[in-house]
Amino acid sequence: LNRADRFNTKFREKVNESDKSFYAEDNCSSCGICEEICPVNNIILEDGVPQWQHKCQQCLACINFCPEKSIQFGTQTLKTQRYHNPEITLQDIKTQKA
């Protein structure tokens, strides 16, 4: 196997663990943007709190589009800037999912 194939194989083996470090802080407003924007429908709101369903592809759209900056990935994203391409809107991503 070449390097890319090895990476893809390892990624697929670990995909069910890839979102175990995601969580929403207490300032989550339950707006549902994370659920709407996830391209693989990996996030559902349960009692207004995002829950990850273990099929994350690490696109980080949930982190970068969260208006409250409440979604974190372990300690790696605490107090870090959020960014998404200003030419790409929430509606653009939602349309792509449809």
Residue 10: the pLDDT is 67
* Domains located in the chain, CATH noted: 3-97 (3.30.70.20)
Cα 40 to Cα 33: distance, rounded to the nearest angstrom: 14
What backbone phi and psi angles, to 5 degrees, belong to 33?
-60, -40
26: exposed, middle or buried (Cβ count in 10 Å: 0-12, 13-18, 19+): exposed
CA separation for the pair 49, 80 (Å, rounded): 22
Residue 69 near residue 34 (C-beta atoms within 8 A): no
pLDDT tens track, the chain, 98 positions: 788 888 677 666 666 677 889 999 999 999 999 999 999 999 999 999 999 999 898 899 999 999 999 999 999 899 899 998 999 998 998 888 76
Q: What is the pLDDT of residue 15?
A: 61
| Count, residues in the chain | 98
